[in-house]
Structure 1
């Protein structure tokens, strides 16, 4: 090879490294902002209730508006990115998120604040869906696992950082500061995206005709009904919860009927019959359900059984997110070296062991017993998440990465919503009381053990699903190799 060609290749490689780092920084910041938008507002609810003279039920919509918009539209955002260009739509999402954050900060009324939060959630849906989808275009294939691990870490950072950062900023600068913070971060992410993300290829003029508007509306309505049933429906009269569940089934049925008649449906069900995608999404939902258990059960167990105050409980609860932050990138690097399928099972097995430790923990083991279970459970979750996301995105055609990334985020969000509702209900039922805050320590201990016992069962189900998929894939490979 001529020396000049070698020098040119070297220069191209030198230019490629900063581009990869810049793209990773953009995607990581996008994921951080989307997760931070959820957790940072929770700590502000008492202050906002006082500022706007709103009731507890009303002020919950500041969180729900964001979650509903993000959950119901994340799949549609991914599909739209496949059609019109992922970089182009991510830039639009960053602009929307930043402008909506500014509107939240200057909102003069409660209704306008909730509306701005919904717009912010739509921007977050775009950022969450496309942040993962663009990895396949902007990051070399051999570094996909590391990139997925980094994105998982940023999600954990946003979740962990939100309450403490929000509490500090509210006490120092007032509640509007938690939304103003997003403006410089959003502008920075926009600069990085415009500077380092690869430019979208040419799209067909008929691309917009391929967007399933009817399916999008039906799916959004169905997911909204389910999310409301799992959250607001629990505290509402029984007929409201029943109506929301019924609306979920009707909306889902209509979505399937319409999908069969659309030339370019939002979700192609044929994709779920190949490459184990349905199992990847199902296990993701199960794992998210289990992880939500730690947030639902942990604070009550630590308060009622060990009589810890809020500050100490906060420190103990921060152990899990802190471990996620440390282990996320390392998990991604291990996936790059050993492959995703094997590490999905290893991560799930580690989670099962952690859930069993928590289900057998009790006062005799002290707070250290609870922390030990979390220390085992959390790295397993990070390993599973990095491996599962890598496996999903590696097997998807380039023109479906956006909608598939949206489905991965949707499965996680639905798992979190279901975990908060279903695992919370199991905890209350096993504790034998309607008011956990007044339950006896022995009752809370039994409720905690029963809930994590259920969590361990769910992880075993996930292991069975993942193992079955791997065995089927192996048999299919042997059949192809056979003469």
Structure 2
């Protein structure tokens, strides 16, 4: 691979990693922030929420803006904003200022996430799209997984301000790589159709819906998992943290191989395979108990997620006209974020309904809640699977008619 291609992939990968790192690195500092600003836990939670809400609110608009003004230009602007906002976060004199700066950081991260996916088609050939999508999925998982551990080290050495200051040099490094290696924006003729036109594509709607459903299932492991591990299995916090890290680590290890399989076997086949593996993982969580069984189920579920994500992202982005790649990338990221939010609320509600008085519930009651939650999660995966097979049949029928 030419050095320019490697440099381009490095800049896109680092952009995705930083955006994901920004999501998870602040969580470990919430207790310290509550002490530093002498405020409640509910108040400091907005340090995390403002970042996530900013990404969710503007990521589609960021994609559209990239299509109009140039994806390289918008990625560079997002990286500069992310680095600048990180510095402001580190110097924030009050909690209000920190929350506002985190929202600015989220705006930069939205541009980074949308443009990282949107520029894949600008930097690699169609035959290599799957493995690059897998690489970006890996970097997203690595950023999420390393956030708590890196944050813990920085917090112990230099305090809470270091959690945000680290984004300054990393953001500037990503900016330098993008400036040096990403291809220049090409003059584009805007498509005459409006924003809603991409959503008329049945394949796109199916891909976005499946992405949201699968993200909801994955989010359940982060919402329900801690309660089961602590209340159901009685694990100490340090052991619970290690088990919780299994999922992101598996995603990081399987992302690139999943992309290579997608390039070799095709995105539709691997999408269905990923959903099948996801269903197996959900059924294991719905039917088995114990630490070993939970870890095995988590490995199976996360492997299925890696296969599905690489294949589905490739299927969604491969046939998108160049002038719409940023917009569709924003929609893809939005569907994932909405799925994460929906999974936290809806599947969390299922767990709360199945486990009354969860903070004082017995181990058997918490286990029942886990089983009920992932039985519903399995139903969501079945819906996604039906959509994948139904859409494939429709595509084949259309091809035969032609």
C-alpha separation between the residues in 2 aligned to 1:380 and 1:203?
37
User: Which of 357, 365, 376 is matched with 2:300 structurally?
Assistant: 376
Give 3-state SS (helix, strand or coil) of 1:276's partner.
Answer: helix
Number of the residue aligned with 1:471: 393
C-alpha separation between the residues in 2 aligned to 1:196 and 1:140?
16
How far 1:167 moved relative to its partner? 1.3
CA contact (8 A) 1:361 1:370 kept: yes
How far 1:275 moved relative to its partner? 5.0
Number of the residue aligned with 2:80: 95
CA contact (8 A) 2:86 2:105 kept: yes
Question: Map of 1:417-436 to 2, 5 A cutoff?
Answer: 417-433=341-357, 436=358
Number of the residue aligned with 2:237: 310
Number of the residue aligned with 1:134: 119
CA contact (8 A) 2:198 2:328 kept: no
Give 3-state SS (helix, strand or coil) of 1:92's partner.
Answer: helix
Aligned positions, number: 402
User: Which of 249, 264, 269 is matched with 1:337 structurally?
Assistant: 264
1:51-98 alpha-carbon deviations (Å, 9 max, x no partner): 111212211111111011000100000000000000001000000000
C-alpha separation between the residues in 2 aligned to 1:378 and 1:149?
13
CA contact (8 A) 1:275 1:395 kept: no
C-alpha separation between the residues in 2 aligned to 1:56 and 1:181?
24
Q: Aligned-pair RMSD on alpha carbons?
A: 1.2
Taking structure 2 as the reference length, the TM-score comes to 0.98
1:329-380 alpha-carbon deviations (Å, 9 max, x no partner): 1000110111101100000000001000000012xxx200101111111111
User: Which of 314, 319, 323 is matched with 1:395 structurally?
Assistant: 319
Number of the residue aligned with 1:178: 163
Larger radius of gyration: 1
1:230-253 alpha-carbon deviations (Å, 9 max, x no partner): xxxxxxxxxxxxxxxxxxxxxxxx
C-alpha separation between the residues in 2 aligned to 1:424 and 1:203?
45
Provide structure 1 residue ranges, at least 5 long, that are not aligned to the other structure. Answer: 1-15, 211-262
Taking structure 1 as the reference length, the TM-score comes to 0.82
User: Which of 187, 212, 224 is matched with 1:297 structurally?
Assistant: 224
Give 3-state SS (helix, strand or coil) of 2:224's partner.
Answer: helix
Provide structure 2 residue ranges, at least 5 long, that are not aligned to the other structure. Answer: none
Give 3-state SS (helix, strand or coil) of 1:293's partner.
Answer: helix
CA contact (8 A) 1:100 1:119 kept: yes
Structure 1 stretches of 4+ moved >2 Å: 270-275
User: Which of 406, 409, 416 is matched with 2:330 structurally?
Assistant: 406
User: Which of 26, 46, 51 is matched with 1:66 structurally?
Assistant: 51
How far 1:203 moved relative to its partner? 5.0
Number of the residue aligned with 2:286: 359
Give 3-state SS (helix, strand or coil) of 2:76's partner.
Answer: helix
C-alpha separation between the residues in 1 aligned to 2:122 and 2:224?
40
Give 3-state SS (helix, strand or coil) of 2:381's partner.
Answer: helix
User: Which of 82, 102, 105 is matched with 1:117 structurally?
Assistant: 102
C-alpha separation between the residues in 1 aligned to 2:250 and 2:100?
35
